[in-house]
Amino acid sequence: MTEQQSLIELRHVYRSFEKGRVEFPVLQDINLAIRPKEVLCLVGESGCGKTTTGKIIAGLLKPSSGELLYEGENIEKFRGKRRAQVRRATQLVHQDPFSSLNPSHTIGQILGYPLKRHRMVKDRVELRRRIWELLTLVDLTPPGDIVNKYPHQLSGGQRQRVSIARALTVDPNLIVADEAVSMVDVSIRIGILKMLHNLRDVFDLSIVLITHDLALAKYFAWEGRIAVMYLGRIVEIGRTPDVIGNPAHPYTQALLSAVPEADPSITRSKEPMKLRSDEIPSLTAIPSGCAFHPRCPFHQPGFCDVASPRLGVTKQHQQNVACLPLNSGGELVQHDS
């Protein structure tokens, strides 16, 4: 594969938050490159830093250290007009469609403000035409029924579509969809995901989908990549078929073994992988060495809890994984301890 210029790149990004006097790291050494028109899914359980990563990509949070590159250049270097353009190039779609739209504006106003502010349209006629087009693009038809409504008059799915349309007003290159469908009714999810796929073709968008649902990630990013996060680190990243079909990291394996199957009889007989502990360690006391070692069934005492794993290739897998035994050329062996 030829090395393509990446749209957004995170290099050695660290981010920590303070709570009172205690400082705890939320992201540690995140390296991630998103190529144009790529679909990337960030998966992991709650508290693993998915949303923080998304917010850093969208420019809402600054990394504590490390750099964020836009088309190969550090984002801090841009000035003036270009800076504003770059910042608009990545947009965020929030998880909760009930709080992401201002209750005191109509849908027409919500879409009109950014269009007017950034002179995306030259006059009133074009403004209305553009709003109409955007609403059609996100399958809110007929637009005439929607424009003069307030957000509370729409359903959750419709609001989420408005929220996506709003992100599209400024012609972004990348959309970060932060759990964009997790609060939407299951029957509507597929529709919204399909629409996002179509929009990706229309607008040449890259999409970063943040989700805790592996099945959804598999469906959405089949042609793209999946990055699995655990306690502020990416533990496995690669093309979706590789990660789903042949998971390398024990954590990914555990997640996959917990996904229910459509057939209840299979689900019932399916044995989820046994972890040594079900508790997620607190971010204030991240375990030494590989952060997963207290829960890992393949834990090798004296090895996993000492050295820190880095993302790398293994013999058996196509994707990159951060697991000490695999990286050093060994295999995962279950120990009884």
Binding residues vs other proteins (CB under 8 A): 58-60, 84, 87-88, 90-92, 94, 96, 99-105, 108, 113-114, 117-118, 124-126, 128-129, 132-133, 136, 142, 144-145, 147-148, 150, 152-153, 163, 166-167, 169-170
Our measurement of the distance from residue 2's CA atom to the centroid of its chain's CA atoms, rounded to an integer in Å, reads 24
Judged by CB, which is closer to other proteins: 105, or 212? 105
Q: How far is the CB of 201 from other proteins (least distance, A)?
A: 19
Judged by CB, which is closer to other proteins: 162, or 248? 162
Q: How far is the CB of 129 from other proteins (least distance, A)?
A: 5
Judged by CB, which is closer to other proteins: 135, or 283? 135
Q: How far is the CB of 174 from other proteins (least distance, A)?
A: 11
Longest dimension (CA), the chain: 72
Judged by CB, which is closer to other proteins: 65, or 153? 153
Rg of the chain on CA atoms, in Å: 21
CB 226 within 8 A of CB 237: yes
Exposed e or buried b per residue across 110-121, where buried means at least 16 C-beta atoms within 10 angstroms of its C-beta: bbbebbeeeeeb
Q: How far is the CB of 320 from other proteins (least distance, A)?
A: 30
Question: Which residues make Cβ contacts (< 8 Å) with residue 69, sequence separation at least 6?
Answer: 6, 8, 9, 10, 11, 75
Judged by CB, which is closer to other proteins: 20, or 144? 144
Judged by CB, which is closer to other proteins: 108, or 289? 108
CB 172 within 8 A of CB 180: no
- What's the count of helices (H) and strands (E) in the chain, helices before strands? 12, 11
Q: How far is the CB of 88 from other proteins (least distance, A)?
A: 5
Q: CA 223 → CA 23, 79, 218, 317, distances in Å? A: 38, 35, 9, 18
Give the three-class secondary structure for 97: coil
Q: How far is the CB of 178 from other proteins (least distance, A)?
A: 10
Judged by CB, which is closer to other proteins: 101, or 304? 101
Q: How far is the CB of 156 from other proteins (least distance, A)?
A: 14
Question: Which residues make Cβ contacts (< 8 Å) with residue 208, sequence separation at least 6?
Answer: 34, 40, 41, 42, 54, 57, 174, 175, 176, 177
Sign for the pseudo-dihedral over CA of 242, 321, 260, 298: positive
**CA-CA distance, 187 to 156, in Å (whole number)?**
12
